[in-house]
Structure 1
Amino acid sequence: MAFREFDTPQVSRRALLRGGAWLTAGAALAGNPMGRMALAQGGAANWQAVTAMVDKYVSERKVANMVATLGWGARDPQYIARGTLALGGPVKADADSLYRIYSMTKPITGMAAMMLIDEGRLGLDQPIAELLPAYANMQVQKTYDGSVTDVVPAERPITVRQLLTHTAGLGYGIVQKGPITTAYTDQGLIPGQVSRIPIPGIGRATPVEGLDVFADRLATLPLVLQPGSKWSYSVSLDLLGRVIEVASGMAFDEFLHKRIFEPAGMTSTWFTVPASEVGRFTTNYGIMNGTPIPMDPAKASIYLDKPPFPFGGAGLVSSPRDYDRFLKMLLGYGVIEGKRVMGELAVRVGTSNLLPETATTEGTWVEGQGFGAGGRVTDGAYGWGGAAGTIAFVNYKAGLRANLMTQYMPSDSYPIHEGFPEAVTADLATMQGAKA
Structure 2
Amino acid sequence: MRDFQISASMNRRTVLRGSAMLGAGLAASSLPFASAAWAQDAAGTRWPGVSQFVRNHVAQERVACMVATLGFGQGSADTIAAGTRTFGGNGTVGPDTLFRIYSMTKPITGLAAVMCIDEGLLSLDQPIADFIPGFANMMVQKTYDGPITRDNLEPAVRPITVRHLLTHTAGLGYSIIQEGPIREAYIANGLVPGQISNLPIAREIFGGTPVRSLAQFAEGLSRMPLVYQPGTRWSYSVSLDLLGHVIELATGQAFDSFLEQRIFAPCGMTSTGFRVAREDVGRFTGNYFLLGGFPVPLDLPNSSVYLQQPAFPFGGAGLVSTPRDYDRFLTMLAGWGEIDGTRVASEPAVRLATSNLFPDTLASNGGFSTGGRSFGYGAGGLVGTGDAQGLFGWFGAAGTAGLVNLKYGLRHNLMTQYMPAETLDVQTQFPLLVAADAARLLAG
Shorter-chain TM-score above 0.5 = yes
What's 2:394 paired with?
A: 384
Are the aligned partners of 2:368 and 2:377 in contact in 1 as well (CA < 8 Å)? Answer: no
Is 1:396 the counterpart of 2:406 in the alignment?
A: yes
Counterpart residue number, 1:417: 427
CA contact (8 A) 1:231 1:364 kept: yes
Matched, 1:309 2:312: yes
5+ residue gaps, structure 1: none
Q: Distance in 1 between matches of 2:30 and 2:38?
A: 12
* Correspondence list, 1:15-164, <5 A: 15-18=14-17, 19-22=19-22, 28=28, 30=30, 32=32, 35-36=34-35, 39-44=38-43, 45-149=45-149, 150-164=152-166
Could you report, residue by residue, the CA deviation over 1:296-352 in whole angstroms, capped at 9, with x for unpaired residues? 011100111111111000000000000000101111010000000001100001001
Aligned residues: 429
SS in 2 for 1:202: helix
Q: For 1:270 and 1:95, how far apart are their aligned partners in 2?
A: 16
Residue 30 and residue 10 in structure 1: after superposition, are their counterparts in 2 closer, same or farther (change >3 A)? closer
Structure 1 204/160 Cα, relative in aligned 2: closer, same or farther at 3 Å? closer
**8 A Cα contact 2:117 2:124, kept in partner:** yes
Q: What SS is found at the alignment partner of 1:179?
A: helix
Q: Secondary structure at the match of 1:199?
A: helix
Residues 133-174 of structure 1: CA deviation (Å, up to 9, x unaligned): 111111111111112122111100100000000000111111
One of 188, 194, 197 as aligned partner of 1:195: 197
- Counterpart of 1:299 in structure 2 is 302
- Quote the Cα distance in structure 1 between the aligned partners of 2:230 and 2:280: 42
SS of 1:382's equivalent in the other structure is strand
Deviations 1:255-299 (A, max 9, x none): 111111011110000101011111100000111111112110111
What is the letter of the counterpart of residue 401 of structure 2? Answer: I
- The alpha-carbon deviation at position 39 of structure 1 amounts to 3.7
Which residue pairs with 1:251 in the alignment?
A: 254
Distance 2:352 2:207 in 1: 39
Give the match's secondary structure for 1:207: coil
Question: Any idea what SS the aligned residue of 1:273 has?
Answer: coil
Question: Does 2:237 align with 1:239?
Answer: no
Unmatched segments (≥5 aa) in structure 2: none
Residue aligning to 2:356 = 353
CA contact (8 A) 1:165 1:374 kept: yes
TM-score, with structure 2 as normaliser:
0.93
Q: How has the CA–CA distance of structure 1 residues 51 and 348 changed in structure 2, closer, same or farther, with 3 Å as cutoff?
A: same
Corresponding residue number in structure 2 for 1:268: 271
Sort the Cα spacing of 1:305 and 1:247 in 2 relative to 1 into closer, same or farther, 3 A: same
Match 2:233 to one of 221, 230, 234: 230
Secondary structure of the corresponding residue to residue 190 of structure 2? coil
Seen in structure 2, the aligned counterparts of structure 1 residues 221 and 7 have a Cα distance that, compared at 3 Å, is closer
Q: Give the counterpart letter for 1:416 in structure 2.
A: V
Q: Distance in 2 between matches of 1:346 and 1:148?
A: 39
From 340, 353, 363, the counterpart of 1:337: 340
Change (3 A) 1:23 1:259: farther
Shift of 1:399: 1.2
Alignment RMSD: 1.9
Q: What amino acid maps onto 2:198 in structure 1?
A: R
Report if the CA contact (8 A) 1:67-1:405 is conserved: yes
Kindly indicate which of the two structures has a greater share of residues assigned to helix: 2
Structure 1 counterpart of 2:409, one-letter code: G
In the aligned structure 2, how far is the partner of 1:312 from the partner of 1:64? 27
Residue 426 of structure 1, aligned match among 436, 440, 443: 436
Deviation at 1:42, TM superposition (A): 4.9
Distance verdict in 2 for CA 1:320–1:32, change over 3 Å: closer
Corresponding residue number in structure 2 for 1:209: 212
Q: Please give the alpha-carbon distance, in whole angstroms, between the structure 2 residues aligned to 1:81 and 1:421.
A: 16
CA shift, 1:23, in A, is 7.5
Residues 362 and 368 in structure 1, CA contact (< 8 A), matched pair in contact too: no
1:165-203 per-residue CA deviation (whole Å, 9 max, x = no partner) reads 000011111111111111101111000111101226515
The percent identity for this pair of structures is 55
Q: 1:62 to 1:8 in 2, by over 3 A?
A: farther
